[in-house]
Structure 1
Amino acid sequence: MALVNPYLQVDGLTKRIGDRVLFEHISFGIAEGQRVGLIAKNGTGKSTLLNIIGGKDGYDEGSVVFRRDLNVGYLEQGPSYPPDLTVIEACFSHGNAVTNLIREYENCMNTPGNPRLEEILDRMEKEKAWDYENRAKQILSQLKIHSFNQKISTLSGGQLKRVALANVLITEPDLLILDEPTNHLDLEMIEWLEGYLKRSKLSLLMVTHDRYFLDRVCSVILELDDHTMYTYKGNYSYYLQKQQERIDASNAEVARANNLYRTELDWMRRMPCARGHKARYRKETFYELEKVAKRKTTEQSVALEVKSSYIGSKIFEADYISKSYGADKVILKDFFYTFSRYEKMGIVGNNGTGKSTFIKILLGLVKPDCGRVVVGETVKFGYYSQDGIAFDEQMKVIDAVRSIAEYIDLGGGRHLSAMQFLQHFMFSPKDQQNYVYKLSGGERRRLYLCTVLMRNPNFLVLDEPTNDLDIVTLQVLEEYLRNFKGCVIVVSHDRYFMDKVVDHLLVFQGQGDVRDFPGNYTQYREWQGEKQKFEREQQKDLLSKTKEPPVQKASRTGQREQRRKMTFKERREMEMLEQDIAALESEKKNIEEALCSGMLSVEELTDKSKRLPLLNDELDEKSMRWWELSEIEG
């Protein structure tokens, strides 16, 4: 749909790769101030579309038109820089209007006679090029990059993504194009970027699997499905509602067309050779009807059931394990934890606090400096790592799966063939014949996930499973994990995914400080906000009650805030409280379900009604004591 005075207008765009059509005759526009999120399954051309718009890729038909003199910034999914550059040099390396102008100025100053110097100086003033380096350092600092002379080759994936993000934001674009901006960013940086975009006046076109990000930042959702673009004028929650309405309407149309198609097909077979005007018209209508009838119906979600191996009551224990890399980087310090049956744990923390190292210690891939990990005999791990696995590039998708198993056990005597199992992961029979080297990054991650789950593990360890996966796959995975009859550890920066899947969190705060929080990520952030608010109010009260000079007040406050170390007895008490709280919450849930079932006798109803308030009191008391202990420094 064409917009009045758009920033960007795409009309009739078609892109083919060999005999494969990614999208065909799609049209959309982006107006000033609009924040647009693009949603599609892996392999349908999201990144290709952004590359076309960003000028990195060509197309077969159609047009891409920007408003004249529009400043466009593009963050690619996998940014790259020459490894020998420093961080600050990298901010000047990717050509944009300002950096090109700075180079033009430097060339002018190095040329005898300084040709066109006055004109360049005017443009430098207009583009605010003089303070470009200061702006770069300011944005880098906000993104927690402080070593401006650090070599690009020494940066982690998350740090490199932040440098690339800073590179785009420095130019203050009118239209910002982002391809998976939250990949490799930790939760703190994701929330910073979310807040930055909400406050800015930027127009935005973004591909992301982060559904909270889509919900809170975007005002328009574009969905690329079956080579066609659909537009929803609202955020992600609105999109979910309207998408389901569209799917229901489309499926109903196909069902009606099928009913009529059978009648018309019978007429076509009986139709005489001589055709009058009405017969020709009816024949043309028949072919249009046939197109609709043969259109595939859409399933909103695919249920995935895979049998997990039996898991006993003993899972594993981490007995006072410690791990550090030199004196400056402590990962764990006397960490003790007993994992419960069917527990679903989330692990959060900033990049570099040791989350991935921690799970590698649990899996026996990294040895602790001291302490031990005791794993139960029935535990069968399924490990999905950030690094993935190396597939044979010349192997077909179906053969990659069949090399692991021809059939997957669903339990109860039911089995799925490798081909049927792949269809649950959105690999159609045609896609299964593709070679691995032809797969997109997201399709490779989906295939990797498939190979992990099909081995029937009873303890899943998922390290950043949401990176590069599309939203449809994430919905299937979430539903699978919620019904999974085993244990789960998830390391993820996807807040929506964590809220859906986990029961509690391990929060890595750095330097071996690991805290257990009994709730999901949103509950943790709410508690954290309330805690910070309470501490600010306490500080205000403290300052208002004393008349001592400011330096003296600060000194005494600092003394009061020094926390002692937790004793061994207190540590054991905290561990017992965590087990008691989990048992009480489970009992409370069972009682509430029983009270709502309508199946209880009068005696049972009376007993459970009396038990519930006592249970709540006991739960509150133990939770309060847990919070008191959690404030003691471990």
Structure 2
Amino acid sequence: MPSYLQIENISKSYGPKVLFEHIGFNINEGDKIALIAPNGTGKTSLLRILAGKDSSDSGGKIIFLKDIRIAFLEQEYEYDPESTVWDQIMRDSEQWTKNLDPEHLAEYEQRVRRLLTSFGMSEYDRKMKVLSGGEIKRAAIIVMLASEADFFVMDEPTNHLDIDGIEFLENYLSHARCTLLMVTHDRYFLDSVANTVMEMDHGAVYIYKGDYQNYLEKRQERIENYNAETDKIKNLLRRELEWMHASPCARTGKAKYRKNAFYELKDRAEQVYRTDSVSLGEMGPASRLGTKIINCKDVSFYYGGDCYLSHFTYNFQRYEKVGIVGKNGVGKTTFINLLIGNMDQSDSGSSTVGEPGRTTVGELCRTTGVIERGESLKIGYYRQSGMQFDENQTVLETVNDTHLLSQFLFPHDMLNNRISKLSGGEKRRLYLLTILMRQPNLLIMDEPTNDLDIVTINILEEYLKEFKGTLILVSHDRHFLDRLVDHLFVFCGDGEVKDFIGSYSQYREFIKDYEAEKRAKAREEERASKSAAVAGSLSASSPLDAGASSKPSRPDAPRKLSYKEQRELEQLEKDIESLTAEKSDLESKMNGGLTDPAELQKVTTRFAEVSSELDTKETRWLELSV
């Protein structure tokens, strides 16, 4: 594959903190690269430099070896709250549309409409300010995908997306002929999309071809080889140390070059590879938990004219781990706030609700039913929106415990850093510490994996698996759900909540099988309906003539076909079999994430032609078979 761009000698630092220094690498056409590094090591800074949004401190070089177009998806999408979805997307697409003629502009707008429909955002006259976080993320992704740029640069593309949105984007990118560089914490997404893993580690860049598991194995080999080489150097250093102590430094004594080599060996021998990671072992056990957690009886919640929870009844149990999934905007976060009595103005636009047995009627919201909470509950609520830090405070002023801070990778040289200087992942890590240090016995986590690096997520998984309390987890990270939860509350919309026993992957398999069975049943019913209609039509169009014989008719006897009709029936059976196979193949192509507009249009047109021809031939086959 030809090289797209070449990066040479770029560096970035903020004050005394060096993120990376003098790094370089190549990106080839067709590479789909996942960038992995701990929080605070400069992943976002590197992406911004490559996208032209920032510059390298040392100058360096970013050489584009082809004339390529770059589309950059940032973590946070800047938008006008008063703008409609359509106007916002088209305004942010101006760099791609400003030089288009009317015909190509119409094609671009059609592409945007198709993506909006595929992403479940067909109501694109809505204001941006009424969208959920996931819907705002979808709008940002549509701007990127509609550009059909040569090189996609994406910073946490799955953050805030619901699972349907993640799976659509995953399918699109895995089939697209594009080059991309992304930072993601979603391991299923990474394995489905990426063909290369790039690791930033201790100021160097390492490239691994293959999936995440291959990266882990090859990385471990690299570390073991490095440490084995260090051990060899230590043995050599011992011999050199004996030589240094053996005789005096005289004119006829030790050679200067050998003494210099000794000090170089000493420096290298001290470079033992160490992997720093968050330690949750000293968080302490959860507080004592009574038998009563949260009991819900016939709870409903309405906002405006919409129902977000309808007659929900459930008693949460000690030590259970339940996952909550559903599309963006169906009320998952609202449900959590109802459970803990935290429905305030920022969440619902109305007054506080959720006290046991209380019904509140406000201008926009109404809650009915009973929610009872155990007296021993100590709730730790990790919000999706994060903690509202005082940006002028230091890390130590926020959490005044140097030992715990060091366990969460905040060493002494970071304790006096202001919150405003921390990366998004570092702020999330500090927020997680403020929750866990309270030793809650009911832990509610709303999208806890957003902005955390993969290593920290793995450690958090292990902690939550052993958590001796009740866990309620809202997450769109499928791997995270599969590892942790016993069952799922599936928010289906219109207030309906279904309880599914099993992991998320088992749930998706169940849904796929159910939908396939549903489609097959619909096809059978449609075919039976057509058969009955044809039979009725033939019966109605064959009345007995008035002068006909009074001999009783035999309606069950099949009509004898002429030689020509017999040949036609045989050909129809072959044609129907061929058309059915072609229709199935076309369906697979349309569901497979076609990205070429011309090819998609061609397949769609042919699908309509095949469907129409198949209906006609099936009808004729029924006429001849009756």
Task: Settle same-fold status: TM greater than 0.5.
Answer: yes
Other-structure match for 1:466 = 449
Offset at residue 296 of structure 1 (A): 4.7
In 2: Cα distance, 1:137 partner to 1:540 partner: 29
Q: SS of the counterpart of 2:524? A: helix
Matched, 1:362 2:339: yes
Matched, 1:381 2:379: yes
Q: Which moved more, 1:365-374 or 1:289-298?
A: 289-298
Other-structure match for 1:44 = 41
Could you tell me which amino acid in structure 2 is paired with residue 340 of structure 1? Q
Other-structure match for 1:450 = 433
In 2: Cα distance, 1:267 partner to 1:477 partner: 49
Other-structure match for 2:64 = 66
Q: Which moved more, 1:134-143 or 1:164-173?
A: 134-143
Matched, 1:232 2:215: no
Contact 1:174 1:202 (8 Å CA) reproduced: yes
Contact 1:251 1:298 (8 Å CA) reproduced: no
Other-structure match for 1:106 = none
* Alpha-carbon spacing, 1:272–1:85, altered in 2? closer, same or farther (3 Å): farther
Could you tell me which amino acid in structure 1 is paired with residue 131 of structure 2? L
Q: What's the TM-score once normalised by structure 2's chain length? A: 0.77
In 2: Cα distance, 1:23 partner to 1:313 partner: 51
Q: Of the two, which has the highest radius of gyration?
A: 2
Other-structure match for 1:194 = 170
Other-structure match for 1:614 = none
Offset at residue 270 of structure 1 (A): 6.7
Offset at residue 265 of structure 1 (A): 5.0
Q: SS of the counterpart of 2:255? A: helix
Of residues 284, 292, 298, the one that matches 2:274 is 298
Contact 1:318 1:374 (8 Å CA) reproduced: yes
Deviations 1:89-139 (A, max 9, x none): 22332366532314xxxxxxxxxxxxxxxxxx6xx77xx344222222222
Could you tell me which amino acid in structure 1 is paired with residue 110 of structure 2? N
Offset at residue 213 of structure 1 (A): 0.6
Other-structure match for 1:209 = 185
Deviations 1:534-574 (A, max 9, x none): 22233333344452349x9xxxxxxxxxxxxxxxxxxxxxx
Q: Which moved more, 1:335-344 or 1:82-91?
A: 82-91
Q: SS of the counterpart of 1:317? A: strand
Could you tell me which amino acid in structure 1 is paired with residue 300 of structure 2? S
* Alpha-carbon spacing, 1:271–1:146, altered in 2? closer, same or farther (3 Å): farther
Matched, 1:309 2:307: no
In 1: Cα distance, 2:485 partner to 2:91 partner: 42
Other-structure match for 2:605 = none
Q: SS of the counterpart of 2:66? A: coil
Q: SS of the counterpart of 1:101? A: coil
In 1: Cα distance, 2:509 partner to 2:276 partner: 32
In 2: Cα distance, 1:149 partner to 1:276 partner: 89
Q: Which moved more, 1:213-222 or 1:237-246?
A: 237-246
Could you tell me which amino acid in structure 1 is paired with residue 290 of structure 2? G
Other-structure match for 2:313 = 336
Q: SS of the counterpart of 1:98? A: helix
Contact 2:279 2:408 (8 Å CA) reproduced: no
Other-structure match for 1:78 = 76
Offset at residue 17 of structure 1 (A): 2.0
* Alpha-carbon spacing, 1:538–1:53, altered in 2? closer, same or farther (3 Å): same
Matched, 1:145 2:121: yes
Could you tell me which amino acid in structure 2 is paired with residue 383 of structure 1? Y
Contact 1:86 1:149 (8 Å CA) reproduced: yes
Other-structure match for 2:9 = 12
Q: SS of the counterpart of 2:387? A: coil
Contact 1:303 1:480 (8 Å CA) reproduced: no
In 1: Cα distance, 2:98 partner to 2:455 partner: 41
Of residues 101, 105, 110, the one that matches 1:134 is 110
Contact 2:93 2:147 (8 Å CA) reproduced: no
Contact 2:93 2:143 (8 Å CA) reproduced: no
Q: SS of the counterpart of 2:288? A: coil
**Number of matched residues?**
510
Matched, 1:400 2:376: no
Matched, 1:499 2:477: no
Matched, 1:247 2:204: no
* Alpha-carbon spacing, 1:175–1:270, altered in 2? closer, same or farther (3 Å): same
Identity of aligned pairs, percent?
46
Q: SS of the counterpart of 1:239? A: helix
Matched, 1:437 2:414: no
Matched, 1:371 2:337: no
In 2: Cα distance, 1:276 partner to 1:232 partner: 51
Q: What's the TM-score once normalised by structure 1's chain length? A: 0.76
In 1: Cα distance, 2:499 partner to 2:9 partner: 53
Could you tell me which amino acid in structure 1 is paired with residue 514 of structure 2? K
* Alpha-carbon spacing, 1:188–1:95, altered in 2? closer, same or farther (3 Å): closer
In 2: Cα distance, 1:227 partner to 1:535 partner: 54
Q: Which moved more, 1:70-79 or 1:367-376?
A: 367-376
Deviations 1:259-299 (A, max 9, x none): 55455456556774447796323333233323333325323
In 2: Cα distance, 1:269 partner to 1:393 partner: 55
Contact 1:244 1:300 (8 Å CA) reproduced: no
* Alpha-carbon spacing, 1:39–1:545, altered in 2? closer, same or farther (3 Å): same
RMSD between aligned residues: 2.3
Offset at residue 191 of structure 1 (A): 0.3
* Alpha-carbon spacing, 1:86–1:171, altered in 2? closer, same or farther (3 Å): same
Contact 1:392 1:436 (8 Å CA) reproduced: yes
Contact 1:71 1:173 (8 Å CA) reproduced: yes
Matched, 1:522 2:500: no
In 2: Cα distance, 1:446 partner to 1:53 partner: 26
Matched, 1:420 2:403: yes
Could you tell me which amino acid in structure 1 is paired with residue 369 of structure 2? G
In 2: Cα distance, 1:85 partner to 1:300 partner: 45
Offset at residue 394 of structure 1 (A): 2.7
Q: SS of the counterpart of 2:532? A: coil
Matched, 1:541 2:518: no
Could you tell me which amino acid in structure 1 is paired with residue 398 of structure 2? A
Matched, 1:171 2:158: no
Other-structure match for 1:110 = none
Offset at residue 300 of structure 1 (A): 7.5
Offset at residue 430 of structure 1 (A): 2.2
Contact 2:299 2:370 (8 Å CA) reproduced: yes
In 2: Cα distance, 1:542 partner to 1:513 partner: 28
Could you tell me which amino acid in structure 2 is paired with residue 337 of structure 1? Y
